Amino acid sequence: MRIGLGFDIHRLQPGRPFILGGVTFAHPRGPVGHSDGDVLLHALVDALLGAAALGDIGDHFPDTDPRWKGAAGKVFVDQALLLLDAKGLKPLQVDATVFLELPKLGKRKPELAAELAKILGIPEERANVKAKTMEGLGAIGTGDAIAAQVLVTLEERRLSGSTTR
């Protein structure tokens, strides 16, 4: 089994769509970034790459590359999963924490967890999303930023022989 940890943070500015975990929320502010600024999926990519010892999101999808301008986070996750697959690795479980003041994720946390499960191709019972405010402290506390931390576990497929789980 392999374990990977990922983190991401983006500034929030008025007039940008608020996209988190591939899901759009109604909110007057949204993340600023070269891509769509989806902290949850970006942290997930770093967790996946980390578990596979494949570097980080900036190594594979540099923000200087026009191909990734405005790219959806799912594009990066799908690419990372292809790299993992080539190494015989596949996701087992994901656990995430989103740090934000607003919007309140509340009842939509299960929806985000289900989205992560779908993207990773794992059962929903192995995906979890939590939310934390920063109690008004710092850039996240004032609503000027959003961050996410993601932990994933991977299993190694047996590449030789006929038995795979």
Residues that bind Mg ion (CB under 5 A): 8, 42
Q: How far is the CB of 130 from Mg ion (least distance, A)?
A: 19
Nearer to Mg ion, 1 or 139 (CB): 139
Q: How far is the CB of 164 from Mg ion (least distance, A)?
A: 33
Q: How far is the CB of 165 from Mg ion (least distance, A)?
A: 33
Nearer to Mg ion, 42 or 74 (CB): 42
For residue 152 the two structure tokens come to: 């994933």
Nearer to Mg ion, 8 or 101 (CB): 8
Q: Which residues pair with 130 in a beta bridge?
A: 97
Rounded Cα gap, residues 151 and 139, in angstroms: 23
- Map 67-110 to HEC letters: HHCCCCHHHHHHHHHHHHHHCCEEEEEEEEEEECCCCCCHHHHH
